[in-house]
Amino acid sequence: MAADGAHPLPTVLAVLGRGLVDPDEPALRADDAGVTRGDGCFEGCRVVVDGSGTADVAKLDAHLARMSRSAARLEIDFDAAAWRELITLAAAAWPQPGEAALKAVLTRGAGDRPTGFVWVTELGADIPRQRREGIRVVTLSRGMPVAAFSDAPWLLGGVKTLSYAVNMAAAREAQRRGADDVLFVSADDPGYVLEAPTASAVWATGRTLVTTPPDATGILAGTTQALLFDAAAAAGWRTDCRLATVAELHEADVLWLVSSTRGPVDVVDLDGTARRRVPEIDAEIRRLAGFAVPGS
């Protein structure tokens, strides 16, 4: 169950076609296209284990649906029933009550056989602080105008691929600038708000929640953002999906980065400009997204 802080170690590993295996044993060939080409897709999910030890994988249907779309775009076979079974198996093997992070990875594999595995590990060490204190965010260009993705399916807009080297480099750039996370903007002038390396952007102006339209802009359709918008609409919020500039974000009442394991975390500093926190709105949005009030 140990983790070394900066790099938590996986403590449960299940491999497609094999089931639970020792997570400390190597599981991939060196010529797996997942490592040689970043050629595959993944999902990151939240596991919640209740006091009786029963594990729930939040939004499992939505994650399987998105992974199926990613795999289809990559032309890699995906058997949703087998993946449901593998994810459920891995989650059930996680022994600690509370939250955990689950990752499901599908690669083109080596030879003609895709590789699939699921691991469950502790929540990222920074998540409790980020939920409590909010996050400092810098905007960085993603280098692409939103129109680039029209009629260019090979650019893999909307596909959650394993090719995240730029996302990780952007996260390091944020740390270098003293920030917790990145908000990517398009290469248009002015740039449009896209998404974070591992999260969607959502903002509130009055009783309207807004996010960036996925797919056509190249960004991922966020599963937590979708769940939140459905719940918010049912609770009387207006919801909107549209292109916006960073200037508009500065005008919004609250801005969140929203992801499956971290949940919605409010942005307290955007490009060096402090943002006022609005605890009552923030608490409502976290609750609607299925996450507890910070500190509770």
Q: 143 vs 279, which CB is nearer to a second copy?
A: 143
Position 155 contacts a second copy (CB under 8 A): yes
Residue numbers 202-231 binding a second copy by CB under 8 A = 218
Backbone angles phi, psi at 19, to 5 degrees: 90, -155
| Contact yes or no for 250/271 (Cβ under 8 A) | no
Residue numbers 161-180 binding a second copy by CB under 8 A = 161-170, 172-173
Position 280 contacts a second copy (CB under 8 A): no
What does DSSP assign to residue 188? Answer: S
Residue 40 and residue 283: Cα distance in Å, rounded?
Answer: 36
Choices 147-155, 253-261, 271-279, 281-289 (CB under 8 A): range interacting with a second copy: 147-155
Considering only 2, 7, 295, 296, the residue that binds a second copy (CB under 8 A) is: 7
Position 148 contacts a second copy (CB under 8 A): yes
Residue 156 and residue 179: Cα distance in Å, rounded?
Answer: 28
Shortest distance (Å) from residue 167 CB to a second copy: 7
Position 13 contacts a second copy (CB under 8 A): yes
Position 74 contacts a second copy (CB under 8 A): yes
Q: 74 vs 204, which CB is nearer to a second copy?
A: 74
190, burial (CB in 10 Å: exposed 0-12, middle 13-18, buried 19+): exposed
Amino acid in position 12: V
Q: 134 vs 218, which CB is nearer to a second copy?
A: 218
Choices 21-29, 46-54, 207-215, 282-290 (CB under 8 A): range interacting with a second copy: 21-29
Q: 54 vs 163, which CB is nearer to a second copy?
A: 163
For every residue of 222-269, DSSP letters joined together read -HHHHHHHHHHHHTT-EEEE---BHHHHHHSSEEEEEETTTEEEEEEE
Choices 28-36, 229-237, 261-269, 275-283 (CB under 8 A): range interacting with a second copy: 28-36
Shortest distance (Å) from residue 258 CB to a second copy: 20
Considering only 83, 117, 229, 291, the residue that binds a second copy (CB under 8 A) is: 117
Residue 159 and residue 40: Cα distance in Å, rounded?
Answer: 10
Residue 164 and residue 262: Cα distance in Å, rounded?
Answer: 18
Alpha helix (H) ranges present in 93-178?
Answer: 127-133, 165-176
Report the DSSP beta bridge partners of residue 78.
Answer: none
Considering only 121, 130, 260, 261, the residue that binds a second copy (CB under 8 A) is: 121
